[in-house]
Chain A
């Protein structure tokens, strides 16, 4: 069996005295979609940000495609990498944020081209053609020259997904991608994510969209207070959970 795309063993993280992650064990296989659910403050977003080292971990091992993220192991110690080395690793991990975080001073097309041209050193005409294709793929082929402020939230988020895909990542992280959207715009973004999953992209998705998790997810992970409460087939975990805490959460959101 191929090595898992994401492998977490006892990942711990604390802010001062507050323990945010209390030993997370999690495996995401290649081509799978893993949905992280749970109440706010459960640590699911923090865990997601640990995967591409936007947050440092305080203990445990977290590897992507067999390689530690942000650390190098020497004996029984993990040594943190320099920012420039971490940047190298992050190229293969796409991330989509709750608040889109598009670059407001660049057009949709320039947003997508920026990293391929400046980081991957792709020549700009190739990058432009690929960016156009990606925009068409997320259904925004006619919005290339629009600035983010001229796009709706749903359109911005789709551009953000295209921007992350432009680096040809092997793993995509989604941090509540639809939480900041008006309800009628959620569908378009979920459609793009559904297509992406169907194409075989490995995805870790922090979401409150129970329906999406049931339909698209290969695994659902329910977290609360920094621990994994329950994990497994979303059609089981999110329909007929074993744990009381999961039941209580689902009864509130459904």
Chain B
């Protein structure tokens, strides 16, 4: 005999009526609604007051947003970012491999490199490279301890503000990148290198074809951060007048005293560029994420649409 048989027919229970007709009511979070409304109203108020503030001089912002001088600065900022990251990643990978080497001298040198360039302020390094000509007037390539010289440069001509900026940013980045690459290489199971070696691969081939591609999965997200950071960090080189975006912005407001509007111009451009930079990062993460999950990979764009589709009421019910 079952338990339900004891119940009188006049008091139907949930089980008797059939679960199809039941509707589950989620908890209503009134507090969240109130907080959201307060936050939105505050934001609207702030934006409104900024938009109407005559001291912000939106006309000045509009006038300079697409000015030639600003574009020239943008170009410098962009190539400086790309070149410094290229130098940083290439040199950083080399330093990382040196640091993982069993050769104590290479290991020591790479540790020293990281210690030096990570341990001193970037601003100090930028100014140092700009004034390095004061340390060595001439740079020459020749045979040490003899008077034989093949090429000789005037350091002042070689170390233009742009080159000094590139050296400072690139070397500093290499110190950070080397730690990221090292962590990436160390995250790969040692069994992978063993399998590669057991197939007759030489160490360099195993590193290039087997270990590094797997390390990329760990390396790319922080390197994406570094790239976005680098784009903003290039603003520091304005101290040596390297004609980047920030240098040119400062040149303008030094003359017209419109500091805030010019900073708005700078902020808008930096924001636009960092937004654009996050796109290749997502693409690279997908490229190197191959084979990591059991399901086929979905592009970020598609995932977003699927996510939106899940929110639509019709799909929600179907999922129910």
List residues of chain A with CB under 8 Å of any chain B CB. Answer: 52, 54, 83-84, 87-88, 90-91, 93-95, 97, 99, 101-107, 114-115, 118-120, 147-150, 160, 163-164, 167
Q: Across the interface, do B209 and A114 meet the contact criterion of CB distance under 8 Å? A: yes
**Chain B residues with Cβ under 8 A from A101's Cβ?**
189, 191-192, 194-195
Q: Which 5 A-B pairs have the closest CB atoms?
A: A91-B200, A147-B291, A101-B195, A115-B199, A95-B198
- The residue from A118, A148, A149, A160 contacting B209, defined by CB atoms under 8 A apart: A118
List residues of chain B with CB under 8 Å of any chain A CB. Answer: 189, 191-192, 194-203, 205, 209-210, 213-214, 288, 290-294
CA distance A107 to B291 in the complex (A): 8
**Chain A residues with Cβ under 8 A from B201's Cβ?**
87, 115, 118-119
- The residue from B191, B197, B200, B293 contacting A99, defined by CB atoms under 8 A apart: B191
Q: Across the interface, do A119 and B205 meet the contact criterion of CB distance under 8 Å? A: yes
**Chain B residues with Cβ under 8 A from A150's Cβ?**
294
Closest to A103 in B: B210
**Chain A residues with Cβ under 8 A from B191's Cβ?**
97, 99, 101
- The residue from B196, B199, B209, B288 contacting A164, defined by CB atoms under 8 A apart: B199
Q: A83-B203, A167-B200 are known contacts. Are A104 and B292 too (CB-CB below 8 A)?
A: yes
* CB-defined A-B contacts under 8 Å, sample of 28: A54-B197, A83-B202, A84-B202, A84-B203, A87-B197, A87-B200, A87-B201, A87-B203, A90-B197, A90-B198, A90-B199, A94-B198, A95-B195, A95-B198, A101-B192, A102-B195, A104-B214, A104-B291, A104-B292, A115-B199, A119-B205, A147-B290, A148-B291, A149-B291, A149-B292, A164-B198, A164-B199, A167-B199
Q: How far is the CB of A154 from chain B (nearest CB, A)?
A: 16
Q: How far is the CB of A145 from chain B (nearest CB, A)?
A: 11
Q: Across the interface, do A97 and B209 meet the contact criterion of CB distance under 8 Å? A: no
**Chain A residues with Cβ under 8 A from B189's Cβ?**
101
Closest to A110 in B: B291
**Chain A residues with Cβ under 8 A from B293's Cβ?**
149
Closest to B191 in A: A101
**14 further interface pairs, Cβ-Cβ under 8 Å (given A105-B291, A149-B292, A164-B198):** A83-B202, A83-B203, A84-B203, A87-B197, A87-B200, A97-B191, A97-B195, A104-B214, A105-B290, A115-B200, A118-B205, A147-B290, A147-B291, A149-B294
CA distance A99 to B292 in the complex (A): 16
CA distance A167 to B194 in the complex (A): 16
Q: How far is the CB of A97 from chain B (nearest CB, A)?
A: 6
CA distance A247 to B202 in the complex (A): 43
CA distance A164 to B200 in the complex (A): 10
CA distance A20 to B314 in the complex (A): 66
